């Protein structure tokens, strides 16, 4: 009788593990449980469907359940929610929502890819129909249907992180009056304050009202209640952030780690025989601090899911860690970061030197040359690169990949200055902006 692998969660970390395990183990019986209506989709693309740049939610689906069934021989069961795991008995209790019944499935191997859940603070009125969290395509479908039906003209986004800013842009494209409210001193808490200010300036230039340092106290029909009075809203989007969806694992007795996520080792093993976890429900490893960390990023979900799949399939693979590289766009302004910001570096015990430069995305004498700001951090003494943040337009954001590569390789500011980077006036100044920042670091050291 073939061994059975049960995968809980049908998105990136789950189905990448399932497909990888299938390639290595043709004999393995694989059952994938997904409580929603989609598999293997790009949640990161949701704001661009909302904003009309992508025609439909279906275009965000990389592989349908039927494709997994026919092409990979994976028994994908939709609207099936795992509600309990018995590690001793090697059983999963599953709620079949379509038939309103509970079933029990045995397993030999288990992979947890339960993802993350939007943070929903316990505030009066937060469960009202005009207040939306957006984490899955099902969530996005509800939001889109409401927005179209109500023809929303006043939208409030609560939270100024990546998803909050991307959805703010989406509703600007609708022609709505958009207000972003954040309890912090600035939006984009992953940036240093001096760089976050530049993002706020760009948001205001694009017509987005920015209200920082403001506490939301509740919701009533047609308005958001705050400590400074109500804000008119016919639709509210929660962009406060996410938390690991790890309760199922914890109830089964698995240990939790950084950020309340499932504790895993470098092979994505979750601490019980034959049990693995990956993606937004699991912790990961930070290359700079050498500590576990919680990073809910699609890139990490796919990579860790692949690592788990190799190990589930009888191979050997480890995840080398991440440096927290991320990029987003707010209208025409690109925002990117990698490594540590000043607060994170201090918390990890690093003494840093920083440099901030103003440059352009291409030779300044060419039409379409736009300003960009680069802030770079290095360790005092060694000069080792620790982090970078970029705010600019048209090609500014992807420059972060050069610095992410340099950080991963353990390079110093001087090493970065010496890199043989490409140059042509339409795509870059003679000295690329990241090298200009590295040069400034050298003079500041």
Active site residues: 44
b vs e for 232-268, b when ≥16 Cβ sit within 10 Å of the residue's Cβ? ebbbbbbbbbbbbbbebbeebebebbbbebbbbeebb
CA–CA gap between residue 144 and residue 328 (Å, rounded): 21
Helix ranges restricted to H, 101-184 = 137-150, 162-174
The helix (run of H) or strand (run of E) holding residue 72 is helix 65-72
| Cα 305 to Cα 309: distance, rounded to the nearest angstrom | 6
State the angle between helix axes of 12-24 and 298-312 in degrees (0 to 180), rounded to the nearest 10: 30
Write out the H or E segment, with its range, that includes residue 105.
strand 101-106
Structure tokens at 3: 């061994």
Tokens of 335: 């925002």
Both structure tokens of 105: 């499935």
Burial 329-338 (b: 16+ CB within 10 A, else e): bbbebbbbbb
CA dist., res. 130 & res. 125, Å (int): 10
417 SS3 class? helix
Residues making up the chain, counted from first to last: 445
């Amino acid at each position: 009788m073939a061994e059975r692998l049960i995968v809980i969660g049908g998105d990136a970390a789950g189905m990448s593990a399932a497909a990888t395990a299938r390639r290595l183990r043709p004999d393995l019986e694989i059952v994938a449980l997904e409580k929603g209506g989609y598999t293997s989709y790009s949640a990161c693309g949701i704001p661009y469907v909302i904003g009309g740049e992508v025609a439909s939610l279906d275009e965000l689906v990389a592989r349908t359940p039927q494709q997994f069934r026919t092409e990979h021989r994976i028994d994908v069961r939709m609207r099936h929610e795992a509600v309990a795991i018995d590690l001793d008995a090697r059983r999963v209790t599953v709620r079949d929502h379509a038939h309103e019944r509970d079933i029990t499935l045995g397993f030999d191997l288990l992979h947890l890819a339960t993802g993350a859940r939007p943070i929903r603070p316990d505030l009066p009125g937060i469960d009202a129909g005009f207040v939306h969290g957006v984490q899955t395509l099902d969530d996005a479908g509800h939001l889109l249907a409401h927005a179209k039906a109500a023809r929303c003209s006043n939208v409030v986004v609560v939270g100024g992180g990546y998803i909050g800013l991307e959805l703010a842009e989406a509703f600007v494209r609708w022609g709505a009056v958009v207000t972003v409210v954040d309890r912090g001193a600035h939006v984009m808490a992953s940036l240093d304050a001096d760089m976050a200010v530049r993002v706020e300036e760009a948001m205001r230039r694009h017509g987005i009202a920015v209200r920082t340092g403001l506490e939301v106290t509740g919701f009533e029909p047609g308005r958001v209640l705050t400590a400074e009075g109500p804000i008119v809203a016919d639709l509210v989007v929660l962009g406060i952030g996410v938390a690991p969806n790890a309760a199922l694992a914890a109830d089964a007795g698995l240990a939790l780690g950084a950020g309340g996520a499932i504790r895993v080792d470098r092979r994505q093993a979750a601490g019980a025989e034959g049990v693995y976890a990956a993606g937004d429900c699991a912790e990961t490893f930070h290359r700079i601090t050498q500590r576990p960390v919680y990073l809910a990023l699609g890139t990490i979900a796919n990579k860790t899911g692949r690592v788990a799949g190799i190990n589930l399939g009888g191979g050997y693979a480890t995840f080398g860690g991440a440096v927290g590289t991320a990029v987003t766009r707010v209208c025409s302004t690109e925002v990117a970061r990698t490594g540590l910001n000043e607060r994170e570096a201090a918390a990890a015990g690093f003494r840093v030197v920083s440099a901030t430069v103003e440059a352009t995305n291409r030779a300044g004498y060419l039409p379409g040359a736009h300003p960009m700001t680069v802030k770079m951090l290095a360790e005092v003494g060694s000069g080792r690169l620790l982090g970078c943040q970029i705010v600019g337009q048209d090609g500014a954001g992807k420059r972060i990949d050069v610095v992410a590569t340099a950080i991963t390789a353990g390079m110093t500011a001087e090493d970065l200055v010496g890199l043989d980077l490409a140059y042509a006036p339409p795509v870059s100044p003679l000295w690329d902006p990241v090298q200009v920042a590295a040069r400034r670091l050298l003079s500041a050291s």
